Each structure stands twice: as C-alpha cells, then as structure tokens.
C-alpha cells in the first residue's frame, strides 16, 4: 500500500500549503481518495488523474473532511464523463453535500457505512469504527496484502485504535492539540495520540490534523515521548509505503 498525504491541516486551512484532511491510498488496482477536505482535490490532481480513482471514502460530515467532493463531482460530470464512482460515507453525508451541488445525478454510487461494517473496496478490505466525535464519524482500517493502515479520522479520547486489533503497520492519527491546551475534548493531543498508538502496538505512527497555529516541532516531541519511538508528521505530498 502507498499513502499520499493530500492535506492534513486540522479543522481549517493553514496559511501556507494548508489543505485540510485528504489522503490517496493506492493498493493493487485500487486508488482510494480518503477524506475530501478543502484544498485536497487540488493536491490530489498532482498525484493522479481523477479518472483513475476507484473509490472515495469519507469519514464524516465536517467540511474539512468532505467539501472537496463537489470538485470531483463537477470534474466527473462535465470534464471526464465519469459516472457511478463508489463513495463510502456515514449516513447523512450524501444529503448534506448535495446542497452544494444541487443534484448528484449519476456521478457517484453512494454506500452508507456504519460502526462495525466491513467492506471490500476492489483490492482493499475496509473496516469502520465509530469514534468519539460529534457527527457520526468513522475511523477506517484499510488492509491489503497483509498490511494494515488505520486512520483515526477525528476523535476525542473516548475511542481507541485498539478496536481494530494491535499492530497496525501505520497508524495515521489525528493530533489536533498539545496536551497543555486541549480546547475541545472532541480531538486528541499529540500525547494522547502517542499513548493510544503505543497501547495499540502500532508499528509506525504518523500525526495529522494539527491545529494550524500549534508548533509542529513541539507536537512531534510530545508524540515521540508518548509513543516511545520516533513518529512521522504528515505534510502535503508526503508519500509513504506501508
Ligand atoms: Zn477535522
Ligand atoms: Zn471533525
């Protein structure tokens, strides 16, 4: 599996290169756009022709995780003549986003997913788990060829990546805050992300969704200490192999 970060700014776009949550996951013949935050579609097009996407996964209805799907809709309808692209999202996301585009027509084939669901998306086995975050929000495990990527999406401390079992090859964890300044308990601090990753025996930890004004170096130090090993910080266009 290959993970490309398309955007990782937490909750709103950062001033420089600050697209919000979006990831491209390639595995076998699959090319999955996971979360469609503002700015991520722009970056996606630097890595793949949108016509080559095989599916979209959206974790929740917060705009920083879903609004750029309108761009793919317009591109698909008037530019690519693409239709029925599978989109997996919690109930309600389809309706909420449709207010942006008027009518979806036939661009996407929507599939509602919920806590505990397992879905085969082409070459990738996906599992979903409801996190501790106000709108129905799903963490995602993507597995291919014996490797596992776990993405926390947004979550407070009432959920743990351990629900997917221990030993994920890469845990992509939100780390919105630092531990001495948690402004809302619907997100994690870098310390909490590191602690959960250590408890879940993740092989590698990548922090993402940092609040745009936090010092990323301090977040990395906090995460390193809690995880007990060196972590990686997400950045737009970073490509990593799993
Ligand atoms: Zn978010
Ligand atoms: Zn959110």
Rounded to whole angstroms, how far apart are CA atoms 23 and 53?
12
Convert the pLDDT of each residue in 65-95 to its tens digit: 999 999 999 999 999 978 999 999 999 999 9
Rounded to whole angstroms, how far apart are CA atoms 132 and 134?
7
Distance 62 CA to ligand 2 centre (A): 5
Convert the pLDDT of each residue in 139-148 to its tens digit: 999 999 999 9
> Looking at residue 199, what DSSP letter applies?
H
Q: How sure is the predictor about 57, in pLDDT bands with cuts at 50, 70 and 90?
A: very high
Residue 16 has pLDDT above 90, yes or no: no
Q: How sure is the predictor about 17, in pLDDT bands with cuts at 50, 70 and 90?
A: confident
- pLDDT value of residue 234: 98
Helix (H) or strand (E) holding 114: none
Residue 134 has pLDDT above 90, yes or no: yes
Backbone CA torsion sign across 222, 166, 137, 132: negative
DSSP bridge pairs for 183: none
Ligand 1 ion: Cβ-proximal residues, 5 Å cutoff = 64, 154
- pLDDT value of residue 81: 79
Nearest in space to 68 (alpha carbons), one of 43, 102, 31: 43
Distance 119 CA to ligand 1 centre (A): 23
- pLDDT value of residue 136: 98
Distance 177 CA to ligand 2 centre (A): 13
DSSP bridge pairs for 147: 144
205 and 175 Cβ atoms separated by less than 8 Å: no
């Amino acid at each position: 599996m290959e993970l490309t970060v398309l955007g990782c700014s937490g909750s709103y776009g950062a001033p420089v290169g600050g697209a919000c949550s979006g990831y491209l996951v390639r595995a076998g013949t699959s090319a999955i756009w996971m979360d469609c935050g503002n700015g991520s579609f722009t970056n996606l097009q630097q890595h793949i022709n949108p016509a080559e996407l095989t599916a979209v996964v959206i974790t929740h209805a917060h705009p920083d995780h879903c609004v750029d799907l309108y761009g793919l809709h317009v591109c698909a309808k008037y530019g690519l003549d693409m239709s029925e692209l599978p989109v997996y999202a919690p109930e309600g996301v389809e309706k909420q986003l449709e207010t942006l585009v008027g009518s979806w027509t036939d661009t996407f084939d929507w599939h509602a997913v919920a806590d505990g669901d397992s879905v085969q998306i082409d070459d990738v086995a996906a599992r979903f788990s409801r996190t501790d975050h106000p709108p129905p929000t799903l963490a995602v495990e993507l597995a291919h060829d014996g490797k596992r990527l776990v993405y926390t999406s947004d979550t407070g401390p009432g959920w743990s990546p351990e629900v997917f079992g221990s030993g994920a090859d890469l845990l992509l964890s939100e780390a919105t805050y630092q531990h001495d300044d948690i402004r809302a308990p619907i997100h994690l601090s870098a310390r909490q992300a590191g602690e959960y990753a250590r408890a879940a025996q993740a092989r590698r930890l990548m922090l993402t969704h940092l609040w745009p004004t936090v010092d990323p170096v301090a977040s990395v130090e906090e995460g390193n200490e809690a995880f007990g090993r060196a972590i990686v910080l997400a950045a737009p266009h970073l490509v990593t192999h799993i």
